[in-house]
């Protein structure tokens, strides 16, 4: 794994977060290098700098002297930026960060965007930008060439202004956008709202939340077998829109549920869904923005339900699920249990058996399996 990056703005040591000794992936990509090389070809404009979706702080660190504002939906990205600042001798407390739903500062001089492959997140961010940029704002975006489509450029055109793209370099491409004098005045389509089948509940999903327009099939399978009335404090780990924990609150008048996710939009969606559908249960609902269960005390909950992601940002990986399972074992008391739903091919059964010494198959179909592991 390469950790040393040379840029026109200096040389840096960079790691992904959370750092793993056997992680073969580096903390930056060709799009980061392309952006920094291009920005260095002319002086940066004077004024506020906004950086969006900087995965582990590479761009924020390189442009640190310009006091950029890092805008991200990811708690892990924020922690990654803080750790890489510290690793390179800069106090992490100097990081200026805000979540991707917060209003942006007016009249930015420079906006740098790492293009998410999730177009809904990109569109939400462009909508917020359309409210604050001016024709003098310089906007430059970058991403993998294979993920910058004509539809991507059309979003920039729709919400901001004239848009062009660069030649590809190392399978990365840049986007240049010239903001219009008059911002687009169109309806913001986010969050989306849809009915939860079989109930009277309405589910709100902000732009970057998984399965944004309908119930995902893994969660649907888990809801059919969700354990009720046998635990007093449950963690919905990797909660997304919170549909699992929400259903527990609606079915059990005595259970407390903690909704935990690393996405700000997920936590906001979960909170809004409790407020909208079971407002009387709000006192029994708790919301935690975190990397898995970092710093959560042992015995905090007697049950954890989990529909693990198998990707981090744009990288397919199983280390998040492994950390979720490891953290769950630490946090659960003796006799507490972990319920997991996942694709059959992901082999969660053996992972849980290695950690807990036991695994029970609760239900299975052609695609998914629900597993239960008990802390002995």
245 near 259, Cβ under 8 Å? Answer: yes
Using one digit for the tens of pLDDT, what is the confidence trace for 242-254? 999 999 999 999 9
User: Is pLDDT above 80 for 256?
Assistant: yes
Q: What is the pLDDT of residue 313?
A: 42
How far is it, in rounded angstroms, from Cα 175 to Cα 178? 10
Task: For residues 283-307, give the mean pLDDT.
Answer: 96
Cα–Cα distance, 367 to 225 (Å, whole number): 15
Q: Please, what's the largest Cα pairwise distance for the chain?
A: 64
Strand ranges inside 272-354, DSSP E:
285-289, 303-306, 311-312, 315-316, 337-343
311: nearest Cα among 225, 233, 238, 203: 238
**Residue-level pLDDT at 183:** 67
Percent of the chain with pLDDT over 70: 96
CB contact set of 9 (below 8 Å; sequence gap of 6+): 36, 40, 62, 63
Q: How confident is the model over 22-36, as a mean pLDDT?
A: 89
Would the pLDDT of 14 be above 60? yes
Helix (H, G, I), strand (E, B) or coil at 273: helix
Helix (H, G, I), strand (E, B) or coil at 234: strand
Question: pLDDT at position 41, please?
Answer: 95
Rounded to 10°, the helix 217-224/243-251 angle is: 20
Region class of 74: left (phi > 0), else alpha (psi between -120 and 50), else beta:
beta
Residues with Cβ within 8 Å of 79's Cβ and at least 6 positions away in sequence, in order, are: 17, 18, 291
Lowest mean pLDDT among 13-22, 65-74, 145-154: 13-22
List of residues 6+ apart from 156 with CB closer than 8 A:
126, 139, 141, 163, 175, 177
Q: Please compute the mean of the pLDDT values over residues 129-140 and round it to a whole number.
A: 96
Nearest-angstrom CA–CA distance, 274 and 196: 13
Query: pTM for the whole thing?
Result: 0.93
Judged against a pLDDT cut of 90, whether residue 66 lies above it is answered with yes
Contacts of 81 (CB under 8 A, 6+ apart): 54, 56, 57, 60, 61, 70, 92, 95, 97
Residues 125 and 99 sit within 8 Å (Cβ to Cβ): no
Torsion sign over Cα 13, 16, 19, 24 = negative
Tens of pLDDT, residue by residue over 137-195, are 999 999 999 999 999 999 999 999 999 999 999 999 999 999 998 766 788 899 999 99
Which band of pLDDT confidence, cut at 50, 70 and 90, is reported for residue 312? Answer: very low
Q: Which residues contact 125 (CB under 8 A, 6 or more apart)?
A: 52, 53, 71, 100, 113
Residue 320 has a pLDDT of 85
Tell me the pLDDT tens digit for each residue of 262-282. 999 999 999 999 999 999 999
Q: What is the pLDDT of residue 23?
A: 66
Neighbours of 346 (CB within 10 A): 15
Q: Flag the least confident range among 28-37, 261-270, 304-313.
A: 304-313
Radius of gyration of the chain (CA): 22
311 pLDDT higher than 50: no
d(CA 148, CA 141): 10
């Amino acid at each position: 794994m390469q950790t040393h990056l040379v840029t026109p703005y200096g040389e840096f040591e960079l790691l992904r977060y959370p750092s793993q000794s056997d992680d073969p992936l580096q903390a930056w990509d060709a799009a980061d290098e392309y952006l920094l090389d291009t920005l260095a070809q002319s002086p940066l404009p004077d004024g506020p700098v906004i950086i969006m979706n900087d995965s582990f702080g590479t761009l924020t660190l390189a442009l640190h002297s310009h006091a950029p504002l890092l805008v991200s939906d990811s708690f892990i990205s924020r922690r990654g930026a803080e750790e890489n600042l510290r690793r390179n001798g800069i106090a992490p407390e100097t990081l200026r960060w805000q979540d991707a739903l917060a209003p942006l500062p007016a009249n930015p001089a420079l906006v740098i965007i790492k293009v998410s492959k999730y177009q809904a997140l990109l569109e939400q961010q462009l909508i917020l930008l359309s409210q604050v940029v001016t024709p003098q704002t310089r906007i430059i975006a970058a991403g993998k060439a294979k993920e910058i489509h004509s539809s991507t450029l059309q979003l920039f055109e729709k919400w901001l202004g004239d848009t062009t793209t660069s030649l590809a370099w190392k399978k990365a491409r840049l986007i240049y956008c010239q903001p219009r004098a008059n911002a687009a005045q169109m309806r913001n389509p986010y969050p989306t709202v849809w009915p939860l089948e079989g109930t009277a509940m309405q589910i709100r999903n902000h732009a970057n939340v998984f399965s944004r327009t309908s119930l995902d099939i893994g969660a649907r399978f888990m809801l059919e077998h969700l354990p009720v009335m046998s635990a007093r404090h449950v963690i919905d780990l990797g909660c997304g829109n919170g549909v699992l924990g929400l259903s527990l609150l609606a079915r059990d008048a005595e259970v407390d549920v903690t909704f935990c996710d690393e996405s700000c939009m997920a936590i906001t969606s979960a909170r809004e869904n409790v407020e909208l559908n079971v407002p009387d249960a709000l006192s029994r609902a708790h919301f935690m923005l975190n990397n898995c269960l970092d710093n959560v005390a042992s015995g905090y909950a007697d049950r954890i339900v989990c529909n693990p992601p198998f990707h981090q940002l744009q990288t397919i990986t199983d280390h998040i699920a492994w950390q979720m399972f490891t953290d769950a074992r630490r946090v659960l008391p003796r006799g507490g249990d972990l319920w997991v739903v996942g694709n059959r091919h992901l082999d969660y059964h053996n992972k849980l058996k290695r950690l807990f010494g036991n695994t029970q198959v609760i239900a299975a179909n052609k695609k998914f399996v629900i597993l239960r592991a008990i802390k002995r």
